[in-house]
């Protein structure tokens, strides 16, 4: 596999992954940065990644891990700054469009993750579970809770989740 294959795969996969990470992080620029970092790592290892069963699954996990590290560091840095200089550092605020994005942003992290993977990336429950390193049962339970909460907030009809 060479660079042309990577370029086509990158162009196809990137938008949905940015949307998913955006839904989890609530910050578009942060999401784009995290995703670009993940794809750069894929490019760095393209020979190996391209031979995997699911390169998309690999880059998804890398992006989620990168997001977790970035948020953790931002949080740590903010705490340290507050402690040292009594100054605050702004953490990303969730987008507030009064709609589904802000409703998703208000969910707990795990529920945001499963919603983002399921609906922004069109992952199956098995793929969602694999990306988050949890069981399918846990993914399913989180998804059900998230849907219930979103149904209440958005005041829409609930539907049975398709497998």
Residues of the shown chain interacting with another protein in the complex, contacts defined by CB under 8 A: 3, 6-7, 10, 14-16, 18-20, 22-23, 28-29, 31-33, 35-37, 39-41, 43-44, 70, 73-74, 76-77, 80-81, 84-85, 87, 89, 99-101, 104, 115-116, 119-120, 122, 147, 150-151, 154, 156-159
- Which of 36, 136 has the CB closer to another protein? 36
Helices marked H in 26-156 — which ranges?
Answer: 28-44, 46-49, 55-85, 100-105, 109-115, 125-132, 136-154
Q: How far is the CB of 76 from another protein (least distance, A)?
A: 5
Do the beta carbons of residue 105 and residue 94 sit within 8 Å? Answer: yes
Of 93 and 157, nearer to another protein (C-beta) is: 157
Least separation in angstroms between CB 15 and another protein: 5
Task: Give the C-alpha separation, 122 to 142, whole Å.
Answer: 16
CB distance 59 to 39 below 8 Å: yes
């Amino acid at each position: 596999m060479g660079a042309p294959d990577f370029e086509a795969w990158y162009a196809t996969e990137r938008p949905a992954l940015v949307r998913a990470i955006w839904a989890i992080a609530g910050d578009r620029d942060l999401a784009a940065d995290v995703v670009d970092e993940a794809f750069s790592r894929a490019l760095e290892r393209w020979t190996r990644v391209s031979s995997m069963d699911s390169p998309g699954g690999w880059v998804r996990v890398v992006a989620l891990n990168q997001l977790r590290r970035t948020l953790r560091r931002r949080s740590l840095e903010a705490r340290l700054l507050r402690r040292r200089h009594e100054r605050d550092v702004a953490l990303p605020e969730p987008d507030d469009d009064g709609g589904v994005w802000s409703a998703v942003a208000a969910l707990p992290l795990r529920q945001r993750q499963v919603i983002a993977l399921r609906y922004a990336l069109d992952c199956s429950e098995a793929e969602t579970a694999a990306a988050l390193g949890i069981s399918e049962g846990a993914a399913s339970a989180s998804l059900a809770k998230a849907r219930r909460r979103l149904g209440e907030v958005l005041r829409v009809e609930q539907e049975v989740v398709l497998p």
